[in-house]
Amino acid sequence: MHELSIAMSIVDMAQEEAERRDVTIDAVYLELGALSGVVAEALSFSYEMACSGTPLEGSRLVIKQVPIEAYCSCCKVTRTVSSIQWFCCPECGTPTPEIIHGKELAITALEVHDERRTAPAGSA
Amino acid sequence: MSAGPRLLEVRKNVLKQNDLMARALRERFRAQCTFVVSLVSSPGAGKTAFLEKMLTMLQPHYRAAALVGDLATENDAIRLARSRAPVKQITTGTLCHLEAAMVERALDGWQTGQLDFLFIENVGNLVCPSSYDLGENLRLVLLSVTEGEDKPLKYPTIFNSADVAVISKADLAGAVEFDGDLLKANLEAVRPGMRYFSVSAKTGAGMDECLEFLTERMAEFAQRTPA
């Protein structure tokens, strides 16, 4: 269960960006690859806890799940693998060790507004 | 003067700090010409027994050391010290995995001299360690025959992130009716082309092949590294 420490990193990074741009965050958009080793449900749950007492309290985490895409050396194209347990081309069955997408764990956008929210009492 | 909500595009890798630290470690190891192997497995798969045997076998010819991660106790470091290789324990408290910064801190002030090999034994866990780059050159995943042939299918992320697999406790394979062919098929499904070795740290079976593989990979690494 490392999702809480990852959620805390997300909150820190987003808040740093918000301060730099002098805005308040309503939502954080995240790309989460199926091979990232992070579980979306656990991350959403942890995000609420990580936001508590920070200027991001009440903000949303919008997770876009990224499927695993691998390069098929036979078809010479990138294809979505059919299962995390079966790394092969869904068309021709060739094993696909070369992963193109699916390891993402990245903030891609912030939904913000310009009014600065007052930090909750007691927060640093 | 308040404008409505708007979307700001940003691109920030959440594990950037760890990745930067891992990259710095990798460069440092390359400058020192130290080949770094990390070990991941579930608890009790035999990482420490494998490592103790491997360190003992490497000792006469190579300078090798080990960092071992656990939530608590120095037991693994004490066991590994029997190999007479320099060993240091990292206790993570309640953390379920090692991060690059912990490796960096553990190396700080540790007098090992020039090393050919550094092994980093991660906390026994097949989930969380997969996300964290430790600056290693090779990630070795162990699974014991007693865990069942479907371990790669149950934990595909960690198996996919590893470079080589070691099937441990091979001396018990008969007792647990371990199906080696089924395991091979499962490994191939989650990580096509992955090399694997079947070993018993207890009897020494298969350890020579694994040692040869590691020393070959180390030699290739040393060749690519400017002297």
Q: Is the pLDDT of residue A118 over 80?
A: no
Report the chain A residue with the minimal C-alpha distance to residue B130: A37
Say yes or no: A30 contacts chain B, CB-CB below 8 A: yes
Render pLDDT for A27-75 as a digit per residue (tens, 0 to 9).
999 999 999 999 999 999 999 999 999 999 999 999 999 999 999 999 9
CA–CA gap between residue B43 and residue B57 (Å, rounded): 24
pLDDT category, B225, cuts 50, 70, 90? confident
CB contact under 8 A, B161 and A37: yes
pLDDT category, A121, cuts 50, 70, 90? low
CB contact under 8 A, A26 and B191: no
Higher pLDDT, A106 or B3: A106
Q: Are strands B164-168 and B195-198 parallel, antiparallel or unpaired?
A: parallel
pLDDT category, A122, cuts 50, 70, 90? low
Give the predicted TM-score (pTM) of the model. 0.90
Taking only Cα atoms into account, the Rg of chain A, rounded to an integer number of angstroms, comes to 18
Strand partners, B40: B141
% of residues, chain B, pLDDT over 90: 82
Q: Are the CB atoms for A6 and A43 separated by under 8 Å?
A: yes
Render pLDDT for B136-170 as a digit per residue (tens, 0 to 9).
999 999 999 999 999 999 999 999 999 999 999 99
**Residue in B220, B218, B225, B214 with CA at minimum distance from that of residue B30:** B225
Q: Are the CB atoms for B65 and B112 separated by under 8 Å?
A: yes
pLDDT at B75: 87
pLDDT at B77: 87
Q: Residue B182: what are its φ and ψ, rounded to 5°?
A: -65, -40
Render pLDDT for A15-28 as a digit per residue (tens, 0 to 9).
999 999 999 999 99
SS3 content of chain A, % helix, strand, coil (to 5): 25, 35, 40
Q: Are the CB atoms for B12 and A104 separated by under 8 Å?
A: no
Question: Chain A interface, mutation test: which of B6, B9, B12, most A Cβ atoms within 10 Å?
Answer: B12
Structure token digits, residue A118:
């007052």
Render pLDDT for B54-107 as a digit per residue (tens, 0 to 9).
999 999 999 999 999 988 888 888 888 888 899 999 988 888 899 999 999 999
CB contact under 8 A, A96 and B192: yes
| A contacts of B97 (beta carbons < 8 Å) | 2
Q: Which residues contact B64 (CB under 8 A, 6 or more apart)?
A: B55, B58, B85, B115, B116, B117, B118, B119
pLDDT at B124: 92
Q: Residue B166: what are its φ and ψ, rounded to 5°?
A: -120, 120
Q: Which residue has 């903030």 as its token pair?
A: A107
Q: Is the pLDDT of residue A124 over 50?
A: no
Q: What letter would DSSP give residue A86?
A: B
pLDDT category, B226, cuts 50, 70, 90? low
CA–CA gap between residue B184 and residue B141 (Å, rounded): 14
* Domain ranges for chain A: 3-67+101-113
What are chain B's domains? 34-224 (3.40.50.300)
To the nearest whole angstrom, how far is the Cα of B100 from the nearest Cα of chain A? 14
Report the chain B residue with the minimal C-alpha distance to residue A83: B190
Q: What average pLDDT score do residues B97-123 get?
A: 93
CA–CA gap between residue B111 and residue B86 (Å, rounded): 9
CB contact under 8 A, B97 and A17: no
Q: What average pLDDT score do residues B190-200 get?
A: 97
What value does the mean pLDDT of chain B take?
94
Cα angle, residue B201 at apex, residues B200 and B206 outer, rounded to 5°: 50
Q: Are the CB atoms for B59 and B141 separated by under 8 Å?
A: no
CB pairs under 8 A between A and B: 104
% of residues, chain A, pLDDT over 70: 91
- Residue B96 has its nearest CB partner, among A2, A38, A88, at A2
Q: Which CATH number fits domain A3-67+101-113: 3.40.50.620, 3.90.650.10, 3.30.2320.50, 3.90.1150.220?
A: 3.30.2320.50
Say yes or no: A49 contacts chain B, CB-CB below 8 A: no
Render pLDDT for A90-101 as a digit per residue (tens, 0 to 9).
999 999 999 999
pLDDT category, B224, cuts 50, 70, 90? confident
